[in-house]
Amino acid sequence: MRYSKHQLHTFTSSVFIKCGMSREDALQAADVLLASDLRGIDSHGVARLVGYIRLWEAGRANMQPAHKIIHETPSTATLDADAGLGLVIAPKAMQIAIEKAKNVGTGWVAIQNSNHFGIAAYHAMLALPHDMIGISMTNASPLVAPTFSKERMLGTNPICIAVPAQKHQPFILDMATSNAANGKLEIAQRVNKPVPPGWVQTATGKESTDANEVKNGGSLMPLGGHKGYGLGAAVDILSAVLSGANYGPWVPPFVTFLNPLDELPGKGIGHFVGAMRIDAFRPADEFKKHMDNWISRFKNAERIDPDQEVLIPGEPEYRMMLERDTNGIPLNDKVVKDLQDLGKKFDIQL
């Protein structure tokens, strides 16, 4: 079953408004979720709406946050998100980063006391119309074990970098620092298929191909071994140790059937975003022409299989966006049921 972007956007923002969110913030939050569905990242789109609402019902998310800047220099700021949704605060943080970049070349904002911010790409991409490179990252509920450990210590902690080009679509790398993206694991669980080696390990730390391992006390494995552990750790440090949020195993779980730990070292979860003005380094037109050249050359790299083209980061998501913008967004039965239940609760038609 497919739903139009407009239909899901209206439904989503209406639900947020019923929870007390301002109209402006609700439209923003719906924008982030729909961008995820349009780009084909089904795990982070409207499928998560019910999760955000549960956080609010559990008193763990504030739908009327008064965020504030608690620390600042010409190129940096630290924000307290007042327990609001990352969906709402991260775009505001990017706007602050963009303003700082306009003034002094780059802007960097660390955010504490937040909740999950959806897909990283949405936020980093806000820099693109300003001829800036956008960067965004976040920590998340612990699921990934460090190398040599069987304990869940890190989230899938994604990193995004968005770079503008001229005639080509922008370069957009948006990647989890675990081998398995959550979404792909969920799909494998649903169809009960084995997952590739390196995705998950058992509760005792043995490699496994059972997609249900994480449900049974196991953990996700970091991208490519110890390097992915290091990358995920760096994201945790920039997002949370730098901002004053919770880090490592203390990051509060997104699911409300698990409670946050006691004696937390920080507030909420953390994000880190940045914007770099291209013409703080070289003229933007010159840069974008070279990005076009970079992209063309990589598209034309010699193929292994003549029928399998070489892809540029962001290219599959862009194509998906065009397709779903036209044909609508497919939702599975479980997600439709969740949305219908939300609709009943808040008296809104899906």
Kindly identify the residues of this chain, within the stretch 297-316, that bind a copy of itself according to CB under 8 A.
Answer: 297-298, 301-305, 308-311, 313
Is 319 within 8 Å of 30 (Cβ atoms)?
no
Nearer to a copy of itself, 85 or 251 (CB): 251
Task: Give the residue, chosen from 19, 27, 50, 237, that forms a contact with a copy of itself under the rule CB under 8 A.
Answer: 237
**Structure token pair of residue 87:** 């969906």
Which of 41, 21, 3 has the alpha carbon at shortest distance from 340?
Answer: 3
Number of neighbours of residue 196 by Cβ within 10 angstroms? 11
Nearer to a copy of itself, 20 or 265 (CB): 265
Task: Give the residue, chosen from 25, 37, 236, 317, that forms a contact with a copy of itself under the rule CB under 8 A.
Answer: 236
The window from 38-46, 55-63, 251-259, 274-282 that contacts a copy of itself (CB under 8 A) reads 274-282
167 binds a copy of itself (CB under 8 A): no
What residues between 72 and 101 interact with a copy of itself by CB under 8 A?
73-76, 78
Nearer to a copy of itself, 11 or 229 (CB): 229
What residues between 107 and 166 interact with a copy of itself by CB under 8 A?
108, 110, 133, 145-151, 153, 161, 163
Q: Measured between alpha carbons, how far is residue 86 from residues 64, 112, 212 in Å?
A: 13, 10, 28
Cα 196 from Cα 73, distance rounded (Å): 46
Nearer to a copy of itself, 19 or 241 (CB): 241
Nearer to a copy of itself, 185 or 233 (CB): 233
Is 339 within 8 Å of 11 (Cβ atoms)?
yes
230 binds a copy of itself (CB under 8 A): yes
Cα 82 from Cα 169, distance rounded (Å): 36
Number of neighbours of residue 147 by Cβ within 10 angstroms? 12
Place of tokens 């076009």: 292
